[in-house]
Structure 1
Amino acid sequence: MNVASVDDHELNCKLMDGFAIAVQVLLGTIVVASLLFKRFRERPRRPIVIWFMDTSKQGFAALIVHFVNVALSDLSSSNGHRDSNNPCVWYFLNIMLDTTIGVAILYMFLRILHSMAYMCGITDMHSGDYGNPPRFYPWYKQLNLFIIAWVLVKTTVVLALESIPAFATLGKWLLQPLIDSHNVRLQVLVVMLVIPLIMNIVQAWLTDAVIKARLHQYKSTLSINQEEDVMSIMIDEDDTHSRLSTSVDSLNDLAFNHSSSASGLAFGISSTGIAIAPKNGFSPVNATDLDRL
């Protein structure tokens, strides 16, 4: 019995040995690279400072959640849990719940926390908006709120795993082929690299969409001012041209109505000034003559 117990323990994966740590570092590098790729595909693209602030919030929270998952997995397996004593099974279950329904729960908690911050009069809590120019303090407050939201998510996930035994049974059944292979490193590769690689990239993209600000908030003050100046000039030009065109038409009408019948002359406005011409040969001024002024 003791031999079987030792054999079972030997077949369980280890989440914090040198090989597992190397796998985790590789996973983190790939996830960050995927976020960089996502940034370069954005149209318009967020400034690098804004992107770094958004991504760093994810990074800090992800590190905390990762180590919590590792600790919970080791704890569940070492306590002789009735469903499985393999930490890879528990890590697999945590990562699957975190990256699926966990994102929806995260969004819900973020909405609640933002509403509470608004009611308490706490400023600079609009996710992804750090001021212009970006400042550290708004980012720091949003980071703390984001971490609190993830703590609430993990609490919900842990309660679900403990109260619904079917999760552990399903996880063990899905990983049984790996466990039967008696290859501990293969378990670590699949559970801590292959599956999280797919799920974490999806989670990171979804979370990034949740926490980033609306598109117009990423524009710099200079760009906004330039757009406003150009629009103002265009509006002023159109308004001035319209008023001048109206004045020209009025003067032409006035010239026709008050032309001298005795002399047979008529007055009008041309591109060079006031025109005096025979009544039969006078042509009203067109508004496009103004373009030559």
Structure 2
Amino acid sequence: MEQEIITIIGAGNWGTTLALYIDSLKRSVRLFEPVDRNRNSILKHRENKTYLPGHPLPWSIELPESINQALQGAEYIFIVIPSDFFYPLTDKISELWNPHQKIVNFTKGLDEKLKTGLSTRLFNLFDPDNVAVISGPTIAREIIKGLPATTVVASVNQKLAEKIQQLLSSEQFRVYTSADVVGVELGGALKNIIALAGGIVEGLGLGNNAKAAVITRGLMEMTRMGEVLGANRETFSGLSGMGDLITTSFSKFSRNRTLGERLARGESLEEIKLDMVEVAEGVRTAILAKSIAREKNVEMPITEVIVDILQGTLTPEQGVKKLMERSLKPEIW
């Protein structure tokens, strides 16, 4: 019996790690990089020298030269791309998609046009029963070393969620299921904003008390936004909420934490972007979250301050002062 083919769209750090992990499970996997320059390099060297150097790609991993080749005959399409590319890539996939193919989204971000999580667009393009999202505390550099990790797959179709759980779970990687698509994806997106704030706390040397405050109050912001957009409050206490937030706020490999630290040291956003190889999704997400929060009347003071710092209207020190001088109130309200 032929194995079901998993196609990964996006050969960044996480997409490449995912391909190597799935290959280690002896499953059929393809890895397609949409950006021509990066794809040509991977095809030439059979190694992702830009995002995951030192880890050659076995010949058992297919490297299609076009998206048509990548999608043909695939049972599962894993979308693992920066959110900036989400619209054009999903448009292209929808043109080539067959109704039996399952769409699994790993991209973490918000939809600028629809003012929601990214799954709303997927539901508009594809059969919702064939759509799932995956999010959780999964630092690629730890997974590539074989260290244990967990994540959550969410779908309105419980059988699909359970099937993906079975496909990806192993002694190293434990996958849980959820029916809360909105909550799982928003946890993964919004935590990047709070990780930026955590990085600023680190960069300013403000200590663990301040970092604990940012993480816990940041989780409240994430939860408030999630509830307004239709998520279950409890989801944010799980792996895709608090779990991912802790990892992204503390890991030295976190792009968002690193960006926050560099902002705190006095570098401008434009200076940092010049030498960052990978995308820090928290920048784009913070700006979109602030816009949605104002439209929906959701109070998100940390997010507001982060956007002001990113846009240069506040220094990191001024941002901390602004948060600490807010009007006093109960912790839970």
Q: Which has the higher strand share?
A: 2
If the length of structure 2 is used for normalisation, what is the TM-score? Answer: 0.20
Q: Which has the higher helix share?
A: 1
Compare CA radii of gyration and give the structure with the larger one: 1
For CA contacts below 8 A with separation 6 or more, give which structure has more relative contact order.
1
